[in-house]
Structure 1
Amino acid sequence: MSEPLLVVMDRVRGLLLDPDTLVRAVASGRHKGRQPPRWRRVELRYVDLKAGRHLQVVAYDETQAHTSNHALAAAPAAVDELLREPFGNWHVETLTEVHQIRVTKKLEAMAHTSARAEAAEVDRGHDRDKDRLLPESDPVFRALGLSDAQGRMKPSRHAKYRQVEEFLRLLDSSITDAITKGRLRRPTPEEPLRIADLGCGNAYLTFAAERFLTSVRGLPIHLTGVDVREQSRDHNAVIAAELGAGAEFVVGSISGVQLDPAPEVVLALHACDTATDEALARAVEWHASLVLAAPCCHHDIAAQLRSAATPTPYAMLTRHGILRERLADTLTDGLRSSLMRAQGYRVDVMQFVESKHTPRNTLLRAVRTGAPDSDGAVRREYDELVELWGITPRLAVLLDA
């Protein structure tokens, strides 16, 4: 049942200004029809500094995080400033409860509060591994060989650690947003959230996601990793047993694996070339509510561009190999986005980790809304583009099939 927005925000204010019980709070999204807030996402928690306890606010724009610390006397002003922003969703965790608030189209609030099975532990340390969602000393990183026996990240694995961290932030915000907006059901111990990682390989991100969602977020999940290699299944099963992780691994191709019941969240992280298309097509087939896909390689469209005549006046874009490859990347992911939109998904294409850490840093996030392409505008735009370039995306073939 909806409540007056000001009443609910006043309750949220009280939770945010309790330095003894607040564990963590996240604001994201925006009000319907309003200008977006200054920040894409904001995280709040209390930290203990030499000068005493402070409210720490980490605000994210499109490219980086901005951290500020506010003494308790100044915390009300900082909180009030954030509450004035038109955020559409608030996720607030206290020692004993979890609160989810969603702002409706009518600018009312839908609030849901659930009690924790046991009181949460809270870390007030300011220097806790740069506010990582999973510290480098977490057992999952030792099991995966990223950190040493003392829990220190190996120098050669810092880029992978950064990639895992940024992916977890996107996964966290995407699941929170989808649940609060009613796009994804709220999981229970009896009916955990079903997640599939297609083409999981050695499952770095699979295990990190399972660890974070269960141990940090406290969400009941059932995670299945799929890979065509038996060696990957056996290797990952050993690690899962070592960690006591609630994850299972099966051998199968992305296009052929049968999962029953179907997953609600589909991950496809660095599936090479058309394997990403296969993962997106399976997600559509399963009516998955949330899809996170990080493409790797775009050979299919690149090969088609080499063999097709370049339309006028774009010859300069394909004359040089490096430019043609980059164009292929852009065309592939742009067409994937259009095809998913035509299937009733809202799609965001974003950079999920800085290019200095990895060149494979594009991520497609698709949230199923069920809204059809009623006037055919998306399909017309897509048809014009593929006709102009004389290409046939693999995802289109799979969806037609």
Structure 2
Amino acid sequence: MKAVELFAGAGGLAMGVSLAGFEPLAIVEWDKWACDTVRDNQTGGYPLVADWPLHEGDVRHFDWTSIDESVDLVAGGPPCQPFSMGGKHKAHDDSRDMFPATVDIIRRLRPKAFIVENVKGLTRSTFANYYQYILLQLEFPELPSRKNEEWFDHFLRLQAERTSGRQKGKKLTYNVTATLVNAANFGIPQKRERVFIVGFRSDLKIDWSFPRSTHSHERLLHDQWVSGEYWKRLKVPAGKRPTMPASVAAKVRKLALAPLPPDSLPWRTVRDAIEGLPDPQSAAAKKIANHRFQPGAKVYPGHTGSPLDLPAKTLKAGDHGVPGGENMLVNPDGSVRYFTIRESARIQTFPDGFLFHGSWTETMRQLGNAVPVALGHVVARSVAEKLIRKEMQLVAETLHHVRGVA
């Protein structure tokens, strides 16, 4: 199966797509630092990215006519600043809004499926109409806006087209499903809420829904405060275990009275993620790539960090400090420090062999903008399974027809 990756960044989603069995025809990213990260890993022979056809540049300027093979999947996360909770919230008025470019590329390549990822802020009530406008553009990519047409007028025209049903079966359309996902519910050691918009070409008649979650907070609470399995697994002696927070006491009592533990895996925590890594200020840390101590972490109102025994807060790519201290670790004794690049990479489920290029600030920007590799794999694998099953169904139907004619 063939794929095209847009807005690839350091390659989180693209790695998940590759792990799901897709072969990239083009990996496009405009940021030099992110491209340098991928190029450094290619030079170093990291196998997953070694053969990526990486193109540094704007997706709007790429020669898409050079893609002369059938494309099974287009994937990417258009720049999220227009919709980010920490951004200027300008949406369609923001020049960084790359959704129109994404729709244009889908119209050109006509992929069997697409995966689009973006921030939770896209679903806010402020952007309600524009969010629906995005979904309709992806559903009807062959109905682009007209010259000098305002986005809202285009939105109304798309709504009318959907109501009329004229496009279905005649032009390129997609069955689109949008889902707000918490990455922690899929084994990512991070409370990262993101929107995934997945579409399948309508002519394929594929019925898809987002994969079921596999991990839960309730099971983590059970393993921490009812069975103690969490502490045993991570070899935390009784004397070094924190006190149970009063805020979860009622839930823990209820879990203790239940006949069976929750039927899920426990959320993975920061402690899970960084297990085996030495203290970044130790001599042993010098032997580990991207694992250097970053000074200056401090607590102040609104900047409280991520507790060791919960999934991390969403890693951020802030330019002037990070609200909430999302890139800062809080130890059980209350002391704080910044995550190292390697720890942050683990929180984003990048493999240890994948190295990052640039300063701590620049690399944290790459990581804060990335899709967790493991979450990208979950989504891409579910899409791949549907496409493979459809292909097998078509082959079986063809064989049945040939035998019937014979």
- Give TM class, smaller chain: 0.3 to 0.5
Tell which has more relative contact order, 1 or 2 (C-alpha 8 A, sep 6+).
2
TM-score (norm 1): 0.33
Give the structure with the higher percent strand: 1
Q: Which has the higher helix share?
A: 2
TM-score (norm 2): 0.32
